[in-house]
Amino acid sequence: ANELVRCAAQWLRLGSVMSLEEEQIDIEDEDSTDEDGEASAATEQTSQDLTGTAGIHNAREVNYQVFEELHLSGAQVEEVQNVWQSYLNSAESREAAGEAIYATIFDSATSFQSLFKTPRAVMAMRLMNGLSQIIGSLGDPKGCKIMVETLGFQHLDLEVTIPRVCIFRDAIIELLTVEMGPKMTHKAKEGFAVFLNYVGGSYIYVRVKFAERIQILTSSWA
């Protein structure tokens, strides 16, 4: 099945001529008013703390209109990777670190609770491994894009939306700020915000652009 999805994704990237606008869904309208309110409250402090960086992907906005390589400065990559490694080292185990992340995200908004259908321990390790893989690839924009795209195809069944991306982003940053203290510098916060926005926007882009056509292909090839 994974091989089929990869083949379908390759074919679609090479042969697709349909624009994103033709298939774009109304992302914001799919979420309830309560979820939008949760996202606004959750992002208020981060918006005050982060000035953002210029470019296609920045610390304040989730861009799902394009999916290009993410280029962080060398200093930002180093800060993000150092904070993440320090967080892993401070935990009793990788499982404990993953559990803390899971609990933070799960408790940050009721809308997330319906998404987590896998057993808690399994989901916690998936979150941990996914974040570790992406953070480890930040210094390689091409490799990072492939990694994020692959994860995006694996999460086509999830209803990833802009409010949920914002809640997820701010929950992660808040947890690391509390756990890491002064090690979570402004540059590190900004780096985390940029790459988490990038990942969330990419997931939405992949779902909007490819999900329906991949389902058609997989069903017709079955």
145 or 57: which leads in pLDDT: 145
State the burial class of residue 143 (Cβ atoms within 10 Å of its Cβ: 0-12, 13-18, 19+).
middle
Tell me how far apart the alpha carbons of residues 78 and 81 are, in angstroms, rounded to a whole number.
5
175 has pLDDT over 90: yes
Phi and psi, residue 62, nearest 5°: -100, 110
pLDDT band, very low/low/confident/very high, at 160 (cuts 50, 70, 90): confident
**How sure is the predictor about 28, in pLDDT bands with cuts at 50, 70 and 90?**
very low
- The answer to whether residue 76 scores a pLDDT higher than 70 is yes
Distance CA 155, CA 210 (A): 12
pTM of the model as a whole: 0.73
The answer to whether 8 and 211 are in contact (CB under 8 A) is no
The predicted-structure confidence for 110-127, as pLDDT tens digits, reads as follows: 666 666 677 888 888 988
Where is 140: in which H helix or E strand? none
Phi-psi region of 27 (alpha: psi -120 to 50; beta: other; left: phi over 0): alpha
